[in-house]
Amino acid sequence: MNNFSLFTCIIVTILLINLQSCKSPTASHNNDNITLSLNDVSCTEAWLNVEVQSVSSPVMLTIKSGSQVLYTTSLSGSDSLIYIDSLLPNKNYSLQGFYTTNPGNGIGSIQQTTNKLTIQTMDTTSSNFTWTEYEFGSQAGSSNLNDAAIINNTDIWVVGYININDTIYNAINWDGKNWNSQSIPYYHQGQAYYSSLYSINAFNKSDIWFEAGINWDGHQFKTIPVNIDFPSHVIKLWGNSDNDLYIVGNNGLIAHRGTDGNWQKLYSGTTTDLRDIWGSTNGKTVWACGYSNNYSQSCILKYDGNIWSTLWEKQSNQTPPYGFLVSTLWAGSKYLYVGAADGIYRNALIGNGSTHKVLSLPSGPHRIRGIAENNIVVACDDESIWYFNGASWFKETQSTLLKPLYSIAVSTNTIVAVGFDATTINTQGIILVGRRN
């Protein structure tokens, strides 16, 4: 074969190889048309933002960590949020998306990749607590404790009604060494009045609200009159500041304290006794719930900054998804946790808003609180306390009949629950303190 023929064969072979490569359905091509970024992460979950720039829909997107497939979805061509729930606590993941496009023009399908995204899941927290129980009162009369607030390890407040040998107190303060009973007055027209306190909300050690009319400024208790008709004890408070504070009470009562320092009554649309309230971190969404004393009514309300609407209302003894009644709620960044008569339910705040039961309880919960998705506590009617560490629920205290816990507070390493002991003729107030080992 002459040199010219050999050269011609080589050129033809190269052209054929290139043509086949262009038509290959598995050709890999890095492209930034789809971009991944982290929205949020928990111990076992991740929420990813998917930004779509110029991809013909629909596109099947597969998220992998190494060779492990974590998620597959069909993209419609618009930005979306995807949810992965198969992760392990305290682990680094290198995530990347893979998808196939078909640009046409006889080129064939092209496999493309997103950017690589490194995330780390939250670690679980320890459920190993040492518990101490304190009792307050005397056989001179009944005592009960209603609510608690933790400022720090040397400053804890509890409120209620305490009868010690016919001397009446309505608050107890832990100073790091001892519990000190106090009588906090409410002044009206120069006259001091002392009554049981139902609720407390502490922003810091120098800004603590006792119900709605008494404020501790770090030096003294100040009476701040409620300038509206609110014929009920304040059963619970929640807010982001003094100028964004909500209160709830019996017969559907709700009020808000704004930047001018005045209270404004808000229309709830219900006559149900409201027993708990909580809001989002930015304060744009607020939820409230409760039930009537005869259990005939129960509801969950939601406030969007303009109006209160009903999310759920009892229609019968078993109204899905919560059943008989709801008593308490708490919201994290992605979930609304609801305490019902038979357990704890978790309602997704994004996506399809699905509701799932995450904990069955033999005794009804009175209060659920948390500071993060890996540090959530529940106080129940039988003195039991349950703890969620981000992956699993743990029963912290044993069940005891006639010792209901009405409220609970949690900080990074401390849990405080309060209620009363009805095993004696006159009930005694009880405080359970758990300190993480």
Range of the domain at 115: 26-120
Identify the bridge partners of residue 105 per DSSP, sorted by sequence position: none
DSSP three-state, residue 13: helix
Domain boundary among 87, 120, 153: 120
Tell me, yes or no, whether 12 lies in a domain. no
- Over residues 366-385, mean pLDDT: 97
- Over residues 387-391, mean pLDDT: 98
Tell me, yes or no, whether 9 lies in a domain. no
Nearest Cα residue to 276 out of 371, 404, 366: 366
Judgement on whether residues 393 and 332 belong to the same structural domain of the protein: yes
Q: Which helix (H) or strand (E) holds 163?
A: strand 155-164
Domain boundary among 65, 98, 120: 120
Judgement on whether residues 103 and 204 belong to the same structural domain of the protein: no
Tell me, yes or no, whether 341 lies in a domain. yes
- Over residues 369-383, mean pLDDT: 97
Residue matched to tokens 């009175």: 366
Tell me, yes or no, whether 15 lies in a domain. no
Judgement on whether residues 205 and 308 belong to the same structural domain of the protein: yes
Q: Is the pLDDT of residue 22 over 50?
A: no
- What CATH code is carried by the domain that includes residue 178? 2.130.10.10
Provide the domain count of the chain: 2
- What CATH code is carried by the domain that includes residue 62? 2.60.40.10
Judgement on whether residues 183 and 248 belong to the same structural domain of the protein: yes
Judgement on whether residues 161 and 305 belong to the same structural domain of the protein: yes
Reported as a single tens digit per residue, the pLDDT across 213-270 is 999 999 999 999 888 999 999 999 999 999 999 999 999 999 999 999 999 999 999 9
d(CA 7, CA 79) in angstroms, rounded, equals 52
| Residue positions counted in the chain | 437
Calculate the average pLDDT of the chain: 91
Judgement on whether residues 299 and 230 belong to the same structural domain of the protein: yes
Q: How far is CA 29 from the centre of its chain?
A: 42
Give pLDDT, residue 262.
94
Cβ-based neighbours of 274, under 8 Å, separated by 6 or more: 235, 236, 248, 249, 250, 252, 253, 254, 268, 288, 289, 290, 301
Judgement on whether residues 233 and 266 belong to the same structural domain of the protein: yes
Judgement on whether residues 176 and 273 belong to the same structural domain of the protein: yes
Tell me, yes or no, whether 237 lies in a domain. yes
- Over residues 53-69, mean pLDDT: 88
Q: Which helix (H) or strand (E) holds 21?
A: helix 3-23
Domain boundary among 72, 103, 120: 120
Confidence of residue 15 (pLDDT cuts 50, 70, 90): very low
Residue 18 phi, psi (nearest 5): -65, -40
Tell me, yes or no, whether 18 lies in a domain. no
Residue matched to tokens 């100073």: 175
**262 DSSP assignment:** -
Give pLDDT, residue 59.
85
Confidence of residue 104 (pLDDT cuts 50, 70, 90): low
Bigger pLDDT: 145 vs 77: 145
Which tokens hold the place of 376?
A: 């959530």
Give pLDDT, residue 28.
42
Confidence of residue 108 (pLDDT cuts 50, 70, 90): low
Q: Is the pLDDT of residue 11 over 70?
A: no
d(CA 243, CA 190) in angstroms, rounded, equals 26
Judgement on whether residues 266 and 191 belong to the same structural domain of the protein: yes
Judgement on whether residues 72 and 144 belong to the same structural domain of the protein: no
Which tokens hold the place of 162?
A: 């305490």
Give pLDDT, residue 44.
97
Nearest Cα residue to 71 out of 79, 57, 59, 61: 61
Tell me, yes or no, whether 13 lies in a domain. no
Judgement on whether residues 106 and 186 belong to the same structural domain of the protein: no
Q: How far is CA 262 from the centre of its chain?
A: 28
Judgement on whether residues 68 and 35 belong to the same structural domain of the protein: yes
Tell me, yes or no, whether 233 lies in a domain. yes
pTM recorded for the entire structure? 0.90
Reported as a single tens digit per residue, the pLDDT across 313-350 is 999 888 999 999 999 999 999 999 999 999 999 999 98
Nearest Cα residue to 373 out of 414, 412, 334, 326: 334
